Structure formats: C-alpha cells, structure tokens
Structure 1
C-alpha cells in the first residue's frame, strides 16, 4: 500500500510540474487548415502555429510542436505525451470534464454544411464529419440524417466529392477555402452555432501552466493583435473579440 501511494504521488507531482520543464510541448493535429497544417517542409503551420509561438514568447516559455491524430489527442495529453493542445478544439462541457481550458482565443463561430448540389436535403442526407468533433455530435442528433465519421477532415471532404456522403459538416472557417477552391461544392442549409469558441487544453494537474497561457491570450486580446491574426488567417468576416 505504501509503495502504491508513493507511486501515485510521484506521478501526480511529475504531471503537475510539467510547466517547470525546459520545453513546453504543444500538441496539434497538423491537418485542419487554416488553423493548423503541415507545410511543404513538414513543419506545423497555420493560424495556431503563429498564435502558439506568440503566446509562448509572451509567457516567456520555450515551446516545441508535436503532431497527433485528432481521435487520440486528448488521451495523449492526459498521458503526458505533450503539455497542451492547440488544435482548433472547441470548448465544450464534455471536454471540460477531462481537461482544463484557457479562455477562448477565437469567439464561437458557425459550423456549416457543404455539398455537391444545392438540392441536398439535410434532413435525410448522409453527412460526413470528423470523428470526435462537435459537428459529428450535432449530426448524430439530427433526426433522419445519417452520420458517417472520418479520422481527418480531408477524408470527410473526399467522401462528399466521391459520392460516399451527401454533405459534410465542419467549421465554416475550414470549409470556406474548400468551397472556394472547388468548382462544384456549395454551402447548403443554415449555419449552426456550436461550442464556446476555441481554447487551449491542459491537464487538470497543470493549473499554473494554463494560467500562463491564459494571461498571454488576454494580453493579445487587450492589444488587438489576436483580432489581427484572426482576420489574417481566418478571414475578415470571421468573428472577432
């Protein structure tokens, strides 16, 4: 019993002291442009790369980037494979039961549907969404519609273009360039407000590290630089603070 207690205590202390290590590891997906993606050199790029680097500078922290598949991104945070998630993750009550979020660094923004035809009936459609997202959760609650889930957003888009699905539901900021770059895909139906905006996620045992990033986010809101980044990367029409 003594050994078990000491072992548990050591684990708790090591997790709680993650903020004190030399390098803070930021976990992202690297597959959700314009929020995060891999550039031609295989480096993390996008809105959240620029934002994360600025937050680390303001918090006076040395950071490195780690990529992880979306469907296991929270479990790998909790298990210690990285110290924070910055990956287009909407703040929801369900996720707050497992991780602690900073304040949002984007306001709540709409989710949208896109399809290859304006005539798609969303009430009876087969709708693609990325696994583990608020959009997948929303579609699963749509009476009459059928949800098909994919591990990454590109596969969800491909399901629509190949006819495997009638429509896709995703963040509108993600879908805008997809629709603009396609000669056939169009927005259908009404936008749907989901989630409480996007925030960084931390282990519940790392309140001090979360507080450092929370203060940095607030400083970017206060001086207007966060709105400038949102406009640059997500578009002038994307909701701002």
Structure 2
C-alpha cells in the first residue's frame, strides 16, 4: 500500500471512530420535579428514584444516550423546557390539548386516573359530600383543573408541591385532596399518610386528563420519534414490565 494511502486511511478511521464515539456519548438533560413519589423523588442520599426515573433511564439506554436528571419546580417545568433548560421532561406530565399548544409529547408511557383522599376520621362518605369542603391539590396540574371543573362546589386550595397539601390534610387544615390515584394510594400506605384513606377513584376527563402521561419535548423536537421507538422497545422486550412490577401490582400503562 502507498504510504499516502495508508495515512489517509488511518486519518479516515480516526475521524469515523471519533464520530462514532461522539454519537455514543450524546448527553441529554431531563427535567423532573422530585417531590412526587412513587413516580419521582429523592432518596436519603439525594439520588433520583421512582417509576418515572427508571423509565427515563430505560428509554435513554434504548436511545444509547447519556442522560442526566435535573430537579426543577413543577410550576416552571414547561417554561424551562421551552427555554431550553433541558431537552425533555419526564415528570408525570399528562398529554393534554392545552399543553400540546406549547410543547410536543412522546406516546404515553402510563395512564392512571385521579382520586380523592380524606382523613380516616372524616364524616365525608362520598364525592357529593365534598360540597362546601376545602380540597387541596398541586397547582398547575391536571388535578387542579379537574377539581375546579368537577368539584366546583368545594373550596379549592392549591399548593406548589404535593408534599404541602399532604401535610395540610394530615393536620386537618383541609378536608380532602385530589391527585393521581397511585400517588394517593402509596401515600396512605406510608407512615406520613396513615392519617388518611382514598375515598374514591374519579372518572377520567379526556379533555383535562388527556390521553395519559408522556415524555414532554420542545415543539418540533427530533427526539419525539426516537422516544416513541424507545418506549415501544421497552414495552416489547420486557423492560417496562420489570419496572412496572417493581412499583405496582397492576399495569400502569392502562387501556
């Protein structure tokens, strides 16, 4: 081989290797609000944990991307995504018509209904008995919108985080709370939530609750198709079921 050809081949191989390495090292930032167990929270060491976190890691593995979770307050989540603070959001974000005006979503990766929790000592026996009572929920969520529309005879009190409404319900400062049925069910099983019980699961409102929870991305993001392929892959290869069964005794994907 001519030495010039040899060196040219070596240079080309180096360039291709570097390009391949760069692709393999793609880094994506994922926004999440780690105050929403069992979907996303921080453990005692400050590490992210939860169903959404594990799903996010599995999706990134399928996409062969290095991903880093970024903790962000819920109220500023969508504006932060739009401004480019991170590449996507995996934080139990429901796919709703209103949000689709601002951002895009992957296909859903779970779909669970809202519910109402009350104190175990409460005389509230059904949803109708919430009329005139004070209900807490997290602000800027589908659950707040749901309560405003369907529980309008109650006084609605919104909180920046789920932890805050839980504390007020446990201490008797509000009469009930609306959130995802899984979040409330897991909370009432815990020591902190032993004060309370899930009163009822609420019917999904397609306009408010949307078609389930998806990965949120900026409008027009090329990540959307890759995310959909990754979600389909983990559903097909059993990874999704392993994660699901780690947290739940039912299929969170829904119908």
Distance 2:230 2:161 in 1: 30
2:244 is aligned with 1:230: yes
- Structure 2 CA distance, aligned partners of 1:61 and 1:93? 29
Distance 1:47 1:126, change over 3 A: same
Counterparts of 1:160-199 in structure 2, within 5 Å, are 160-181=169-190, 182-193=193-204, 194-199=209-214
Distance 1:126 1:54, change over 3 A: same
Q: For 1:144, which of 140, 145, 153 is the aligned residue?
A: 153
Matched length: 220
Structure 1 segments unaligned to the other structure (5+ residues): 1-18
Displacement, 1:39? 1.2
- Displacement of 1:238: 4.4
Using the TM superposition, give the Cα deviation of residue 122 of structure 1 relative to its aligned residue in structure 2, in angstroms.
1.6
2:113 alignment partner, one of 107, 110, 115: 110
Q: Which runs of 5+ in 2 are unaligned?
A: 1-22
| Partners of 1:30 and 1:184 in 2: CA distance | 23
Using structure 2 for the length normalisation, give the TM-score: 0.81
Q: Is residue 92 from structure 1 mapped to residue 96 from structure 2 by the alignment?
A: yes
Post-superposition CA distance 1:72-116 (Å, at most 9, x none) = 00000000110100001111111111110000011x211110011
Please give the alpha-carbon distance, in whole angstroms, between the structure 2 residues aligned to 1:148 and 1:197: 25
For 2:58 and 2:160, how far apart are their aligned partners in 1? 29
Distance of 2:83 and 2:161 partners within structure 1: 22
Give the whole-Å Cα distance in 1 for the aligned partners of 2:164 and 2:194: 18
Q: Residue 184 and residue 210 in structure 1: after superposition, are their counterparts in 2 closer, same or farther (change >3 A)?
A: same
2:58 and 2:239 in contact (8 A); partners too: no
Instruction: Indicate the residue corresponding to 1:27 in structure 2.
Output: 31
Instruction: Name 1:220's counterpart in structure 2.
Output: 234
2:162 counterpart residue number: 153
Contact 1:118 1:188 in 2 (8 A): no
Alignment match of 2:141 (pick from 120, 133, 136): 133
1: CA distance between counterparts of 2:132 and 2:251?
29
* RMSD (Å) for aligned C-alpha atoms: 1.9
> What's 1:124 paired with?
132
